[in-house]
Amino acid sequence: MARVKFLCDVERCIDCSGCVVACKEGHHVPVGVNRRRVITLDQGKSGEKSISVSCMHCADAPCIAVCPVDAIYQRDDGIVLVNKKTCIGCGYCFMACPFGAPQFPKGNIFGARGAMDKCTFCAGGPEENFSTEEKRLYGQNRIAEGKVPLCAGMCATKALLAGDADVVADVYRERVFQRGSGVNAWGWSKAYGKE
């Protein structure tokens, strides 16, 4: 069984937020909830780098471990999902997550923290496939349609890769190999660089 993974190639990410809006528009995610976001380091300085971050669908997911009501579960293909009907919105997963992925919408019965929302890898949730309820709570279920996640599919520079971790690795390996020898090779500056 394949396991899904994201990979963001920081040499390619241009901080255009295409992934962010692809996700939000595709799943009708409310303003204020960011299943994915782009982080830029050293903006305006030499060495500026950007990276797109969301739930990484960890193989050994801390959020699952800490959830007191077992609302979070992992599919066989590695996609980590939350059952919003079980979630109590406590935020333990938010504390446990190394990436700040869990999101808590405003303005519902839980006050500032509603049921946790996060990246679904475009795989919907535990409701019936393509049901109104699934769409309302989780957005599209593209995986059930045999389609790739929107964020990676629409990435402007193909920085963001998503899918079977083995294939993602192949794509990235080929790309790094293509970057050629010399100063563009990954790790060159680390091994031979001045700083």
Partner 1 sequence: MARSKIMISAGDGTVAAGQRVTLNPKVARRSFLKLAAATAALTGAAMTSRMTGTAKAASGPKEPYAGSEKIKTICTYCSVGCGIIAEVHNGVWVRQEIAADHPVSFGAHCCKGAGAIDMVTSSKRLKHPMKKVAGRWTPISWDQAIKEIGDTLVAIREKDGPDALHLNGSAKVSTEMAYLQRKFAAFWGSNNVDHQARSCHSTTVAGVANTWGYGAMTNSLNDMRHARSMIFIGSNPPEAHPVSMQHILHAKEKNNAPIIVVDPRRTKMAAKGTEYVRIRPGTDAAFVLGLINVIIANGWEDKEFIRTRVSGYGEMVAAAKDYTPEEVENITGIPAEQTLRVAGLLARNRPTSLTWCMGSTQHSIGSSITRSFCILQLVLGNMGKSGGGTNILRGHDNVQGATDMGVLADSLPAYYGLADGAWKHWCRVWDVDYDWMVSRFHEKEWMNKKGFSLARWYEGVLQEEKCHQYTPIKALIQWGCGSNSNSQYDRVVRAYNKLDLLVVVDPFPTMIAATCDTDNIYLLPSASQYETSGSVTSTSRQLQWRCRVVDPVHNSRDDYQIMELLVKKLGFADMFYKNIKQVPEDITRELGSGALSIGYNGQTPERIKKHMENWNTFDIDDLQAKGGVCDGEYYGLPWPCWTEEHPGTPILYDVSKTVAEGGLPFRNRFGNEKTYDASGRTENQLAAEGVCNPGSEVRGGYAEFKDVEPGTNWETDLSQKTIKAAIARGMAPSGNARARCVVWEFPDQVPIHREPLHSPRPDLILKYPTYVDKENHFRVDTRFLSEQIPDLVKDFPYVLTTGRMVEHMGAGAETRSNQYLVELQPDMYVEINPRLGNDIGVRNGEMVWIESPEGGRIKVKTFFTERVDEKTLFLPYHFAGVLLGESLVENYPEGTAPLAVGEPGNVVTNYGYDIVTQMQSTKDGLCKIAKA
Residues 118-147 that bind partner 1 (CB under 8 A): 123, 126-130, 135, 140-141, 143-147
Task: Please check whether residue 97 is in contact with residue 67, taking contact to mean a CB–CB distance below 8 angstroms.
Answer: no
Cα distance between the two ends of the chain: 43
3-state helix vs strand vs coil in the chain, percent to 5: 30, 15, 55
CA-to-CA distance for 13 and 136, rounded, in angstroms?
31
In the bound state with partner 1, the residue whose beta carbon lies nearer, of 36 and 113, is 36
In the bound state with partner 1, the residue whose beta carbon lies nearer, of 112 and 145, is 145
Rounded to 10 degrees, the C-alpha dihedral 110/102/83/23 comes to 110
Q: What's the closest the beta carbon of residue 22 comes to partner 1, in angstroms?
A: 4
Residue 101 binding partner 1, by CB under 8 A: no
Residue 32 binding partner 1, by CB under 8 A: yes
Q: What's the closest the beta carbon of residue 20 comes to partner 1, in angstroms?
A: 6
Residue 60 binding partner 1, by CB under 8 A: yes
Cβ count near 135 (within 10 Å): 16
Residue of 20, 55, 82, 119 interacting with partner 1 (CB under 8 A) = 20
Residue 106 binding partner 1, by CB under 8 A: no
In the bound state with partner 1, the residue whose beta carbon lies nearer, of 56 and 168, is 168
Residue 16 binding partner 1, by CB under 8 A: yes
Residue 43 binding partner 1, by CB under 8 A: yes
Task: Please check whether residue 120 is in contact with residue 36, taking contact to mean a CB–CB distance below 8 angstroms.
Answer: no
Helix (H, G, I), strand (E, B) or coil at 192: helix
Residue of 8, 72, 116, 119 interacting with partner 1 (CB under 8 A) = 72
